[in-house]
Structure 1
Amino acid sequence: MEHQTPYPLILEGEYAPDLSRWLWLVKWVLIIPHAIVLFLLWIAFLVLSVVAFFAILITARYPRSIFDFNVGVLRWSWRVGYYSYSALGTDQYPPFSLADDPN
């Protein structure tokens, strides 16, 4: 049976069955490079969201390149959060990528 929801998006994650018992102690060090890059990407995200707002007002269309970039920043943030202290759901180090990663 398909899950019915009033929202257009469902974000699901599964805990890895073989999580390390001690890696969580050092994950804060491992995510430092991601945090630095994501900080800069979130600044760009905010600026491009303002640009997209005016582009939508003028053209009635969301510019595809800005949309793809913003979705990529959200994906990356979710992956890093799932790896790190938002969920501690996996021990697989997240890729440095805006692209979709099915893993």
Structure 2
Amino acid sequence: MAVSAELDGRLSRWLWLVKWILVIPHWIVLFFLWIAFFVVTVIAFFAILFLVKWWLLAIPHYLVLAFFSSGMHAGWWSGGLITLLTLIAAFALAFTDRYPRDLFALIVGLNRWVLRVAAYASLMTDAYPPFRLDQGGTETAGTEHAADGS
């Protein structure tokens, strides 16, 4: 939005009183337009909130990701598969002085899946996250096409 204003060169001392009277019908119309704007905004908010997109369509992903991340709490352990694999990788790194490449690919793939579902559930993207584990440090060609909708 761009707003520009210009001060007139010659001003009348009493014309502003007439202009204030001419503004009253505009205020009445604007009052009803603001009420309509508020009502439509509330309706749109609830339409987006209770669209089946972020909760119903994502339920299968939520169930899978509850196992991957810290969504499942079992006694003292509440870390999830990603945390467990990261701890295993940390021990492997401590004792062998190298990060296991296949474990790295799996952890990145699990985190990629979690982040895709989080972006979809928070309405940051319209692309439905695929049910696949894209392992490795780089995205696969199929994922790029799914993100742009083609």
Fold conserved between structures, TM > 0.5? yes
Code of the residue aligned with 2:86 in structure 1: it is S
The separation in 2 between residues aligned to 1:23 and 1:61, in whole angstroms, is 47
TM-score by length of 1: 0.69
Work out whether 1:63 is the aligned partner of 2:100.
yes
Work out whether 1:48 is the aligned partner of 2:75.
no
Q: CA deviation at 1:78?
A: 1.2
Q: CA deviation at 1:89?
A: 2.2
Q: CA deviation at 1:48?
A: 1.0
Give 2:128's match in structure 1, choosing from 83, 90, 93.
Answer: 93
TM-score by length of 2: 0.49
Which blocks of at least 5 consecutive residues in structure 1 are unaligned? 1-20
The separation in 2 between residues aligned to 1:59 and 1:29, in whole angstroms, is 45
Give 1:76's match in structure 2, choosing from 103, 113, 128.
Answer: 113
TM-align CA RMSD: 1.7
The separation in 2 between residues aligned to 1:84 and 1:68, in whole angstroms, is 24
Work out whether 1:39 is the aligned partner of 2:66.
yes
Which one has the largest radius of gyration?
Answer: 2
Give 1:29's match in structure 2, choosing from 30, 39, 56.
Answer: 56
Q: Which has the higher helix share?
A: 2
Number of equivalenced pairs: 81
Code of the residue aligned with 2:89 in structure 1: it is A
Code of the residue aligned with 1:29 in structure 2: it is L
In structure 2, what is the equivalent of residue 11 of structure 1? none
Which blocks of at least 5 consecutive residues in structure 2 are unaligned? 1-43, 70-79
